Structure 1
């Protein structure tokens, strides 16, 4: 009986009756606007009664929220030593905080599953809170519908009151029907706005209190859950996993040591190979350079000897042909000038040859320096290409020297002919 008397419908009926009495003649709420909008039509009265039902439901939620908030604050301040103390504190209360305590500790799960149990209880409470506002949401939807229904009824009354034969006499009925249409719509929209904002405020406060309850439950109730019992299978699995981890670590260290040894041996072998190759290459370059210089000296000596032989032959020819010099003095003078020019060219060729010998010595030094840098950088392949290019340069220069020496030795037969 008490539950029926405290239901939103009973409270709405009482509020509606009190409102009608207060708006009656001589009442405290007697006013022309209230009479026009709230009492002008039965649909307006129905809209007011529906609004009072929704307001009563929201007010009851707000009153209940105060008790819920106090219970959550009390739970957050509690520090229970045993789960029996928490259950005693919860008792048989229907509030959310005591229900959360009973839901966890009546059948306490192990500590590793208590967090999941609390999360499930929180989600269930959130769903239940959302469902509890079903009546309020329905009333909030129905109030504007009643207003639009009043609009339709008012327009219908206005159309039905039109008298084509007496428009002037029926004008009052037409305007009265339109007044019903617009007044009921305005009243319904205004009351629905009040319901929407009040519902949003109360529901938001309850959701916030539910979040605080979740935090308080995690902080206060989780330590009361029993620890996980020793499980021999789990312990054996843990031992096996530890041994596998240690074995994997040992194998990783062994493989790392093997790789380090292999890399060190490879580096040592490469260093020795580079050193040997550098020594062999340098010796080959020095030998080839020495051979080139000796060959050039031999060619120079041969050219000098040939030149001396040509000079001697020319002198002998000149001694035997004194009688003919008077006739060929002009030719002899021209030949002597040509001979002097060629001797100057030969001297210049010998100077250039000396310069090239010095350049070859410098190139040999650069090759030694390049080999040293190759040994330091470990770039053997690039060193081979550089040495190949140096050898090619020496070959080209020796070819040019041979060409010039051949050109310098060409006048000897001419002298012999002379």
Structure 2
């Protein structure tokens, strides 16, 4: 039974069993009973099966991924020498990778196996149409092998959710079996606990399936990238590299004849093209000269019109300048006459200002005398008041007034 399984599956199965045993040896310790992993992976036999499938799939993916660095390094190796044209099919045997020049991991790489198979087919069956079909067949076979390589992981991803639902159903059956309506109140806590464990089983199964699916996506994408790189290399280096010996001479003659015909056709085409270009350029230059002559005449006419307009403008500008200067001269003469008249008026006003100043000086002198007389009168009045002879002075003054009046009324005084 063991020999019927692939070696990689067999080793991953054994490692998965060992990893599961180690995991539960740790999780069944008393210190791990209250942890999240202990609650989700140790409550039901179905949890043990889910954990085993999850660890088995991860170990199988890890074994596949360990080969990726070697495959990627093998893609950078120079497996075939640089070619110069097609080679006879008999040289294919010398290009098959040998054990002496390569290490073990390079000989086990996919690109080495693909190159060896293609070259071996070229040696044994030639490089006819079947040769290219063989290359396509090997490419399709490699793709199928890549898909089959992850069958264990796909099996685990497909079966794990079913086990989760099975665990849920088992927990529900355990919770509801043997319970009557009268015992519902007393056993309600146990029922709720079993129902929570049932949902925990589904949760752990879905989480394990999604995690395995994510790692499967990454590994399969990398694996398919390696296959695509191998296909491109084989298609570029081997699909058109060889030719059968019996076909070399006829093909070379045909190629030479086709090459000569192509050169003749290209020469004739080039001559016709050069002639067409010459005619086109001659017509283009002629049109350019005509257009240049027409533009030169138009520019000359425009310059003449501009020169005439400039002369007219200069003449009008000089006439306006002369008229402006004459008007400015007349205005200046009128202004001078007004200035002289103003100066004469200023001179006459100066004499009047002198007479007014003299009159004001006289008035100022008269005001000074009046002020002195007023001061004298004020002193006399004060003297009279102080001597208490005011009444006598008044009587004397009245008598003097009457005397003066009588003297003025006398005939002699009047004659005088």
TM-score scaled by length of structure 2: 0.50
Q: Spell out, residue by residue over 1:363-388, the C-alpha distance to the aligned partner (whole angstroms, 9 max, x if none).
A: xxxxxxxxxxxxxxxxxxxxxxxxxx
Alignment check: 8 A CA contact 2:127 2:244 kept:
yes
Task: Specify whether residues 186 and 174 from structure 1 end up closer, same or farther in structure 2 by C-alpha distance, changes over 3 A only.
Answer: same
Change (3 A) 1:9 1:155: same
Map of 2:20 onto structure 1: 16
CA deviations over 1:257-305 (Å, ceiling 9, x no partner) = xxxxxxxxxxxxxxxxxxxxxxxxxxxxxxxxxxxxxxxxxxxxxxxxx
Counterpart of 2:378? Answer: none
The answer (yes or no) to whether the contact 1:162–1:171 under 8 Å persists in 2 is no
Deviation at 1:94, TM superposition (A): 3.5
Matched position secondary structure for 2:243: coil
Which residue number corresponds to residue 55 of structure 2? 52
Alignment of 1:301-312 (within 5 A): none
**Aligned runs of 1:9-408 on 2, under 5 Å?**
9-25=13-29, 31-75=34-78, 79=81, 83=92, 84-88=94-98, 93-108=107-122, 110-111=126-127, 113=129, 114-222=131-239, 225-231=241-247
Task: Please tell me whether the aligned partners of residues 50 and 143 of structure 1 are also in contact (alpha carbons under 8 angstroms).
Answer: yes
| Contiguous gaps of at least 5 residues in structure 2 | 84-90, 262-416
Q: Shift of the alpha carbon at 1:4?
A: 7.7
Aligned mates of 2:68, 2:34 — CA distance in 1: 35
The answer (yes or no) to whether the contact 1:152–1:181 under 8 Å persists in 2 is: yes
Q: Distance in 2 between matches of 1:91 and 1:117?
A: 27
Q: Structure 1 residues 229 and 44 mapped into 2: Cα distance closer, same or farther (>3 Å)?
A: same
Q: 1:71 to 1:131 in 2, by over 3 A?
A: same
> Does structure 2 conserve the Cα–Cα contact (< 8 Å) formed by 1:161 and 1:174?
no
- TM-aligned CA deviation for residue 69 of structure 1: 2.1
Structure 1, unmatched stretches of 5+, are 246-418
**1:140/1:232 Cα in 2 relative to 1: closer, same or farther (>3 Å)?**
closer
Greater Cα radius of gyration, structure 1 or 2? 2
Cα distance in 1 for partners of 2:137, 2:8 equals 32
Change (3 A) 1:21 1:48: same
Indicate conservation of the 8 Å contact 1:23/1:31, yes or no: no
Per-residue deviation, 1:70: 2.1
Classify 1:4/1:216 alpha carbon distance in 2 versus 1 (closer, same or farther; 3 Å).
closer
Are the equivalent residues in 2 in contact too, given 1:68–1:96 (CA < 8 A)?
Answer: yes
- Taking structure 1 as the reference length, what is the TM-score of the superposition? 0.50
Q: CA deviation at 1:162?
A: 2.6
1:137-167 Cα deviation digits (max 9, x unpaired): 1111000000010111111112115332322
CA distance in 2, matches of 1:8, 1:64: 14
Q: Is the Cα contact below 8 Å between 2:96 and 2:120 reproduced in 1? A: no
The secondary structure found in structure 2 opposite 1:138 is helix
Partners of 2:127 and 2:159 lie apart in 1 by 48
Shift of residue 171 of structure 1?
A: 1.8
Deviations 1:167-225 (A, max 9, x none): 233223312321231011000001100011110111011101111111122334457x5
Partner of residue 345, structure 2: none
Q: Work out the CA distance in 2 between the residues paired with 1:20 and 1:48.
A: 9
Distance 1:199 1:231 in 2: 48
